[in-house]
C-alpha cells in the first residue's frame, strides 16, 4: 500500500493521527476531521492508500499538517463518522522526502504487546522466509522503539564522516541481531582454516585450491597486524598453535586478548557474506576468458607491508 502523508518536515508538535484503508478523493468527507483538528489546535497526520483530487489540492494549498483507529469501511466505519477519540496520538512526527518517523506514540501498551505476540507466533509457524522477515521487521518496529542520533562537527566534511560511521555501526548492529557475533580482528576466519586442514582432496589442483582459500582466510588478521607494525607471521603462528577460538591479537595494544571480553567483535552476517561474495568474484575471475588489469609501475617504491607469501607457512 502506498502511503500519502502531509506534514511539514521537522515538525515536533504532538499530533493526532488518522489511518484510512482506502483512497481519499471526496473533500466533504475530510471536513469533519479537519474541523476536529482545528478545534483542538493540534496537527493532523493522515495516512491513507492515496489522497487525490480536491482533498489533495486543498491540503497542499492550505499547508495542513496532515497524513488511531484504522477506518475500515467493511466494518461500517467511514470518514464522515469519525470521532475525535478515534484518532491516535504521537508526541512528535518528523516527515521528510524519504522518511517518516513517529516518536512516543500514544497506543495502548497491552494491545501492542498482544500484537507482538501474534507476530512472534506467526514467525514460528511460517515456513516462508519472506513472511518471516516481514513479521520480524514489523515486530521490531512495534517493540524496539526509535532512537535519535545527533551527529555534530566543526565542518560539513567532518559531520559527513561521522554520520557514515554511525550508519555503518547501525547496520553492523542490525546484522549482529540477525545472525549473532563472532570474535573480531579476523580471527574467526583465521581459525576457520583449521577446518580445512583435514579436508580430503583427490589431486594436486584441489590441494592448491584449499591452500588458496586458507591463505585468503588468514589475510584479514595478517593485514591488521602488519598495518599496526607487528610481526604478522609470528602472531598468526602463535594463534594457530593454541585452541581457544576467542583468543586474538589486539593490534592497538600489541597484546593477545580474549576478543569477546575486549569488545572486539564482528557480526557473523558481515563475515559470512564477505566470504561468499569473495568466493563468487574469484569464481568469476577463474572462469573468464580475459581480464583487464593495470600495468604495474616498475619504478614504484616497494611496499612496507610484509609479503603475503609469508601466509603460506602458517
The pLDDT assigned to 79 comes to 62
Answer for the pair 271, 220: CB distance below 8 angstroms, yes or no.
no
91 shares a domain with 116: no
- Do 78 and 134 lie in one domain? The reply is no
56 within domain boundaries: yes
In a domain, 217, yes or no: yes
Q: What is the pLDDT of residue 286?
A: 84
Low-confidence ranges of the chain (pLDDT < 70): 1-17, 38, 41-42, 57-87, 104-107, 143-148, 300-314
Is 169 inside a domain boundary? no
pLDDT tens readout for residues 119-167 = 888 888 888 888 887 887 777 777 665 566 788 889 999 999 999 999 9
Do 89 and 129 reside in the same domain of the chain? Answer: no
Q: Flag whether 70 is in a domain.
A: yes
DSSP states along the chain: ---B----TT--S-EEEEEEEEEE--HHHHHHHHHHHHHHT--EEEEEEEE-HHHHHHHHHHT------EE-GGGT--GGG--GGGSEEEEEEEE-SS-EEEEEE---HHHHHHHHHHHHHHHHH---HHHHHHHHHHHHHHHS---------SSHHHHHHHHHHHHHHHHHHHHHHHH-EEETTTHHHHHHTHHHHT---SSHHHHHHHHHHHHHHHHHHHHHHHHTTS-HHHHHHHHHHS--TTEEEETTTTEEEETTTTT-EEEHHHHHHHHHHHHHHHHHHHH-S----PPP-TTSPPPSSPPGGGGGG-
The answer to whether the pTM exceeds 0.85 is: no
**Distance (Å, rounded) from C-alpha 95 to C-alpha 178?**
28
216 plus 267 within the same structural domain: yes
* Residue 10 located in a structural domain: no
Question: Do 74 and 132 lie in a common domain?
Answer: no
Same domain as 281, residue 201: yes
Domain boundary among 87, 106, 125: 106
Verify that 128 and 226 share a domain, yes or no.
no
Q: Is residue 165 part of a domain?
A: no
Identify the burial level of 13 via C-beta atoms within 10 angstroms of its C-beta, where 0-12 means exposed, 13-18 middle and 19 or more buried: middle
Per the document, the length of the chain is: 314
Return the pLDDT at 18: 75
307 and 238 inside one domain: yes
The residue segments making up the domain with residue 246 are 187-313
27: domain CATH number is: 3.50.7.10
Q: Among residues 184, 32, 6, which one has the least CA distance to residue 96?
A: 6
Q: What is the pLDDT of residue 302?
A: 60
pLDDT at 41: 62
Q: What is the dihedral of CA 257, 259, 264, 266, to 10 degrees?
A: 150
Count of domains for the chain:
3
Q: State the residue for C-alpha cell 502531509.
A: 6
Shared domain for 84 and 121, answered yes or no, is no
Q: Are residues 73 and 124 in the same domain?
A: no
**Is 166 inside a domain boundary?**
no
Residues 129 and 41 in one domain: no
Does residue 100 lie in a domain region?
A: yes
Would you state the pLDDT for residue 121?
Answer: 86
pLDDT tens per residue, range 177-209:
888 999 999 999 999 999 898 888 889 988 998
Give me the pLDDT at residue 278, please: 92
Q: What is the CATH number of the domain that holds 211?
A: 1.10.560.10
Question: Given this model, what pLDDT does residue 161 score?
Answer: 93
Question: 256 with 296, same domain?
Answer: yes
Query: Whose CA is closest to 83, among 37, 117, 43?
Result: 37
pLDDT in tens, 108-121: 778 778 888 888 88
**Cβ neighbours around 213 below 10 Å, total:** 18
Amino acid at each position: 500500500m502506498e502511503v500519502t502523508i502531509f506534514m511539514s518536515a521537522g515538525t515536533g508538535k504532538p499530533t493526532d493521527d488518522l489511518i484510512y484503508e482506502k483512497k481519499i478523493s471526496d473533500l466533504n468527507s475530510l471536513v469533519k476531521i479537519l474541523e476536529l483538528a482545528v478545534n483542538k489546535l493540534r496537527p493532523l497526520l493522515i495516512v491513507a492508500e492515496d489522497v487525490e483530487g480536491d482533498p489533495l489540492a486543498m491540503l497542499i494549498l492550505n499547508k495542513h499538517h496532515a497524513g488511531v483507529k484504522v477506518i475500515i469501511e467493511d466494518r461500517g466505519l467511514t470518514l464522515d463518522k469519525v470521532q475525535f477519540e478515534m484518532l491516535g496520538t504521537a508526541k512528535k512526527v518528523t516527515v521528510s522526502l524519504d522518511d517518516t518517523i513517529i516518536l512516543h506514540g500514544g497506543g495502548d501498551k497491552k494491545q501492542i504487546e498482544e500484537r507482538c505476540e501474534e507476530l512472534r507466533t506467526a514467525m514460528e509457524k511460517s515456513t516462508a522466509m519472506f513472511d518471516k522477515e516481514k513479521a520480524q521487521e514489523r515486530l521490531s518496529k512495534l517493540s524496539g522503539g526509535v532512537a535519535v542520533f545527533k551527529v555534530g562537527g566543526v565542518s560539513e566534511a567532518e559531520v559527513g564522516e561521522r554520520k557514515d560511521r554511525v550508519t555503518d555501526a547501525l547496520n553492523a548492529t542490525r546484522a549482529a541481531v540477525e545472525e549473532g557475533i563472532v570474535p573480531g580482528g579476523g580471527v574467526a576466519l583465521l581459525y576457520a582454516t583449521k577446518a580445512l586442514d583435514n579436508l580430503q582432496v583427490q589431486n594436486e589442483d584441489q590441494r592448491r585450491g584449499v591452500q588458496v582459500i586458507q591463505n585468503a582466510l588468514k589475510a584479514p588478521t595478517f593485514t591488521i597486524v602488519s598495518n599496526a607494525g607487528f610481526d604478522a607471521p609470528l602472531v598468526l603462528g602463535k594463534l594457530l598453535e593454541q585452541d581457544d577460538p576467542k583468543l586474538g591479537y589486539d593490534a592497538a595494544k600489541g597484546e593477545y586478548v580474549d576478543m569477546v571480553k575486549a569488545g572486539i567483535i564482528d557480526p557473523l552476517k558481515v563475515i559470512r557474506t564477505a566470504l561468499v561474495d569473495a568466493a563468487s568474484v574469484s569464481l568469476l575471475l577463474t572462469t573468464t576468458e580475459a581480464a583487464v588489469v593495470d600495468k604495474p609501475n616498475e619504478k614504484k617504491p616497494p611496499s612496507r607491508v610484509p609479503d603475503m607469501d609469508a601466509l603460506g607457512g602458517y
